């Protein structure tokens, strides 16, 4: 079931704040763990209502049907709102610019894992946003998008020697996760020179939020050097004393399910450690703080809350020295930049009833909404209803399930949801899925990856689309499943005589 925190209840009670197609989220008062960070500060007020974004989305769905991107032959697509992405990038930059001292170097590096699509990274690059990568594949995507090395940060708890060697050769910033990795970097830094800014990731161990899987500053988190473990803090200080080329300090407290107060606490602990290290060394060796990302997303309505401006203000209040110009800043936001600007739209193949409940069987399920299907309490999604022409669906509200195409009973985008009844040939849209959803295909039942399209305003008030990722073909599924090696297990040397 889905929670409706105070800010979202306000939105629900004011129809002008929401598109009618986007309000079918369930009305239970029982609180879930994920939709608004679970324990978000009470004093956070609603940000952007999202009305403009909702209107653009409705127009895009209608246009996708009219232009043939959606239909019987293409029953599921991912749509990305280019205008919305640009707006979020601008809001992020403006939020921090309002508080940092003039001339302070600030890099906002998008967490590529959130939406690993080259065209998205290219768009963000054009909007002044860099890339935070955590694998060779993500680095390759960032480079394909034209990301400059100085706009790229490598974070990963399992960097290989080859990955480190490549990063150092390119001049990409690297945050060492642990003492063994730092030893490995020592070996690669035998001459003591590199263009790469280097630092250590620490775990401030300030605790977790309402979703354990996205809480990275718990006592036993796998990430970083655990500062409160015996001897760990002193080890970190000595590491910087012994290595003048360590000039950055990094921490990331978590993402969805983490309240702003806990995010700020993690940053405060990191700032205090940097101050201690510089004081004990006797100079400003650490010149940049990488504070990670983690701003939670409101999945309960179209409203954007919390906002980047609210987070920056919280940091200015809780860690005032952060913005005084003595430290450059790096952020690593992902979900908050893209989630609200993506929509999965799927055709209803069949409409049926089971046990007296309506069931709409669609082409979007676990393959494009893996987190929601396997952990619906933490990752509930709003579902919008559209008719066969892509228009906002009107009509009586009924309780129904919105099911996916995979062959297991739990493949449900929504269960027991009150919304206009979906009929065969109509469309269900999973909202706020621009990050960690359709860009992260899960190959259950060998379902093909859907096509992804960016959309924006065209001439005379229309909508134009651009291909971001082609839909996968069944031939490509066969190739990826080893089609070129069909006899590998039946011929020698493994085959039976």
- What is the per-residue pLDDT for 323? 98
The phi and psi torsions of 323 (rounded to 5 degrees) equal: -110, 15
C-alpha radius of gyration, the chain, whole number: 24
> How do beta strands 342-354 and 427-431 pair?
antiparallel
- What is the per-residue pLDDT for 344? 98
DSSP states of 113-137: GGS--HHHHHHHHHTT-EEEE-SHH
CA-closest candidate to residue 426, choices 59, 75, 56, 54: 75
- What is the per-residue pLDDT for 461? 80
- What is the per-residue pLDDT for 496? 67
- What is the per-residue pLDDT for 215? 85
- Give the separation between CA 416 and CA 157, rounded to whole angstroms: 40
Binned average pLDDT, 10 residues per bin, the chain of 497 residues: 29 30 39 37 54 97 98 97 98 98 97 98 98 98 98 97 96 97 93 87 89 87 93 97 97 91 95 98 98 95 96 97 98 97 98 97 98 96 98 95 98 97 98 96 97 94 96 98 95 78
How many Cβ atoms sit within 10 Å of the Cβ of residue 478? 13
CA-CA-CA-CA torsion sign (169, 175, 180, 183) = positive
- What is the per-residue pLDDT for 193? 75
- What is the per-residue pLDDT for 460? 81
Query: Which residue(s) pair with 153 in the sheet?
Result: 132, 173
> How do beta strands 76-81 and 451-457 pair?
parallel
For the chain, the distance separating the N- and C-terminal CA atoms, rounded to the nearest angstrom, is 57
- What is the per-residue pLDDT for 27? 32
Q: Which residues of 445-456 are buried (b: 16+ CB within 10 A; e: fewer)?
A: eebbbbbbbbbb
Which of the 8 DSSP states describes residue 481?
T
């Amino acid at each position: 079931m889905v929670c409706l925190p105070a800010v979202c209840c306000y939105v629900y009670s004011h129809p002008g704040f929401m598109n009618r197609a986007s309000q079918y989220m369930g009305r239970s008062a029982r609180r879930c763990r994920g939709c608004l960070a679970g324990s978000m500060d009470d004093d956070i007020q609603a940000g952007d209502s999202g009305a403009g974004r909702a209107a653009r989305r409705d127009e895009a769905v209608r246009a996708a049907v009219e232009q043939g991107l959606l239909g019987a032959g293409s029953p599921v697509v991912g749509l990305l709102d280019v205008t919305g992405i640009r707006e979020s990038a601008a809001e992020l930059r403006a939020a921090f610019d309002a508080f940092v001292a003039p001339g302070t170097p600030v890099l906002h590096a998008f967490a590529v894992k959130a939406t690993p699509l080259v065209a998205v990274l290219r768009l963000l690059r054009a909007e002044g946003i860099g890339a935070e990568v955590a694998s060779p594949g993500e680095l390759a995507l960032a480079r394909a998008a034209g990301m400059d090395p100085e706009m790229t940060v490598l974070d990963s708890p399992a960097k290989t020697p080859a990955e480190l060697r490549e990063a150092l050769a390119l001049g990409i910033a690297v945050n060492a996760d642990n003492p063994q990795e730092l030893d490995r970097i020592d070996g690669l830094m035998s001459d003591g020179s590199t263009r790469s800014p280097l630092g250590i990731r620490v775990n401030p161990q300030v605790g977790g939020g309402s979703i354990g899987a996205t809480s990275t500053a718990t006592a036993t988190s796998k990430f970083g050097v655990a500062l409160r473990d015996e001897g760990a803090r002193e080890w970190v200080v000595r590491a910087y004393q012994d290595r003048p080329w360590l000039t950055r300090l990094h921490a990331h407290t978590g993402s969805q399910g983490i309240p702003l107060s806990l995010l700020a606490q993690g940053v405060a602990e990191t700032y205090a450690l940097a101050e201690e290290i510089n004081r004990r060394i006797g100079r400003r060796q650490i010149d940049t703080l990488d504070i990670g990302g983690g701003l939670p997303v409101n999945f309960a309505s179209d409203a954007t809350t919390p906002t980047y401006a609210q987070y920056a203000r919280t940091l200015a209040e809780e860690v005032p020295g952060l913005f005084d110009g003595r430290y450059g800043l790096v952020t690593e936001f992902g979900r908050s930049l893209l989630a609200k600007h993506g929509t999965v739209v799927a055709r209803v193949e069949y409409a049926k009833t089971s046990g007296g409940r309506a069931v709409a069987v669609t082409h979007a399920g676990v393959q494009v909404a893996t987190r929601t299907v396997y952990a619906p309490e933490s990752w509930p999604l709003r579902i919008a209803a559209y008719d066969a022409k892509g228009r906002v669906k009107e009509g009586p509200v009924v309780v129904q399930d919105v099911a996916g195409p995979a062959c297991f009973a739990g493949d449900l985008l929504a269960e027991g949801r009150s919304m206009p009844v979906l009929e065969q040939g109509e469309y269900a849209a999973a909202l706020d899925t621009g990050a960690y959803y359709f860009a992260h295909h899960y190959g259950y039942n060998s379902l093909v990856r859907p096509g992804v399209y960016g959309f924006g305003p065209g001439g005379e008030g229309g909508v134009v689309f651009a291909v971001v990722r082609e839909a996968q073909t069944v031939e490509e599924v066969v190739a990826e499943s080893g089609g070129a090696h069909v006899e590998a297990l039946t011929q020698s040397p493994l085959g039976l005589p």
